[in-house]
Amino acid sequence: MSEEKFIFLIEVVAVLIVAVWISIASSLIYRKRRLKVLKYIEETFADIVSRYLYNDIQNPLTLIEIQRTLRKAGIKSHKKANIQYLINLMIRTQRTILGTNHKKLKMLYAQIPPYRVSISKITGFGWYRKAQGIREIYEMDQSQYRHNILRFRNHRNVYVRREAQIALVVFLGWESLRFLPYLKREISLWQQIKIVEKLYDLYPTPELPWLKKAYKTDKLFGKQLLMRGIRKYKLQAEVNFIIENLNHPNYEVRETAIYCIQTFVISDEWMVEVKEIFSILPDATQQMQLLKYIFNNSEIDLDFYLKHLYANNDDLKLKIAEILWNNGYKEKVQEFYYQQYAKINPYVE
């Protein structure tokens, strides 16, 4: 390599190193300034919220003053990152506070919606922005937009419709169950749990008329959701809905019913029905699960156990034999054993 070429190479490397240094320095300066701006926004918002929640009669905080202060802190329509930061702060604060102050915050947020950013997200393109907009609206409890969100309950994108369904629960509580028959797409197990948990957190008192109306739904996921609700709220009086679904033709519905019934101790009359359903259950695994429930929640019913001891399912027979053996009916198990032995042994005359 010639000397000239070598010097040129060194110059190129030096320029590259300088460029990298400049970009690192500018990035550091930008980050420092940005952090300062964000801190200022947070402090301004904290001051506004504290003054709004505990307003001083001598020096009241007005809406115009709030808007001016926010604008001064950099909350302007063209500064989208600042607005998004403010929205995150608003959501964080709303989640932190309960009671009358929560309602006050809701009022404040309704008066200072930052340039309708969240609502404009749900009318824009892209599933991510839509889902984010819906989440922001329900997290800030902005129920005035619930009609805009309602139409997304059957959206083709799973994340958008999930957020829309949660929003309906947040805004309408138990009344949101009336939309169950109109849902066209499956609600996943995860979403069912999320809905029930959200409902329980925000509306801990059950409103049975809405629940009873929802029983009419023919949607399988709807039935599962309702049973999970009954379980979560421990609605003993509604346990018949779960029992009715123990012998549903659909496997998943039966599975949910068996899972949910385990929370409840039921009356002898209902137990008779459960035992009848047990006899006609088409799936052996589910029969085993239900048998466990029956055993744990009722007295030993010898006729019931003997009937199934002499039935065809070997796993069930084994389990029932174990139950009888451990609960004072050894002779019945021995009787069954020898009877069986006599039948299959070709050498016995």
State the SS3 of 127-165: HHHHHHHHHHHHHCCCHHHHHHHHCCCCCCCHHHHHHHH
- Among 12, 31, 43, 128, which residue interacts with another protein (rule: CB under 8 A)? 43
- In whole angstroms, the minimum distance from the beta carbon of 85 to another protein comes to 13
Residues in the chain: 349
Q: Which is nearest to 131 in space by CA: 90, 168, 92, 159?
A: 159
Among 46-54, 145-153, 313-321, 329-337, the segment contacting another protein (CB under 8 A) = 46-54
- Residue 49 in contact with another protein, rule: CB under 8 A: yes
- Report, in Å, the least distance between residue 59 CB and another protein: 12
Sign of CA dihedral 124, 125, 127, 129: negative
Closest CA to 318 of 339, 337, 295, 345: 337
**Separation of alpha carbons 312 and 252, rounded Å:** 24
Provide the b/e sequence for 283-293 (b: ≥16 CB within 10 Å): eeebbbbbbeb
Q: Which is nearer to another protein, 93 or 176 (CB)?
A: 93
- Neighbouring CB atoms inside 10 A of 59's CB total 7
Site string for another protein, 224-243 (x = CB under 8 A): --------------------
Q: Segment 86-145, which members bind another protein (CB under 8 A)?
A: 89, 92-93, 95-102
Amino acid of residue 17: I
Please give the single-letter amino acid code of residue 125.
F
84 scored as a contact of another protein (CB under 8 A): no
115: phi > 0 → left, psi -120 to 50 → alpha, else beta; which?
left
Q: How far is the CB of 50 from another protein (least distance, A)?
A: 4
Query: In the bound complex, what is the minimum distance in angstroms from residue 46's beta carbon to another protein?
Result: 4
Residue 278 Cβ vs another protein, minimum distance, rounded to whole Å: 38
Task: Candidates 51-59, 125-133, 225-233, 338-346: pick the segment binding another protein (CB under 8 A).
Answer: 51-59
How far apart CA 338 and CA 345 sit, in angstroms, is 10
Q: Could you say whether residue 36 binds another protein (CB under 8 A)?
A: no
Q: Cβ of residue 260: shortest distance to another protein, in angstroms?
A: 25
Q: Which stretch binds another protein (CB under 8 A): 29-37, 52-60, 71-79, 270-278?
A: 52-60
For residue 106, CA distances in Å to 73, 96, 103, 137, 201 come to 21, 13, 5, 11, 18
Tell me, by CB under 8 A, how many residues bind another protein.
Answer: 22
Find the binding residues for another protein in span 324-343 (CB under 8 A).
Answer: none
Tell me which residues in 10-29 interact with another protein (CB under 8 A). none
Question: Among residues 37 and 89, whose Cβ is nearest to another protein?
Answer: 89
Q: Which of 37, 51, 197, 215 binds another protein (CB under 8 A)?
A: 51
Q: What residues make contact with another protein under the rule CB under 8 A?
A: 42-43, 45-47, 49-51, 53-54, 56, 89, 92-93, 95-102
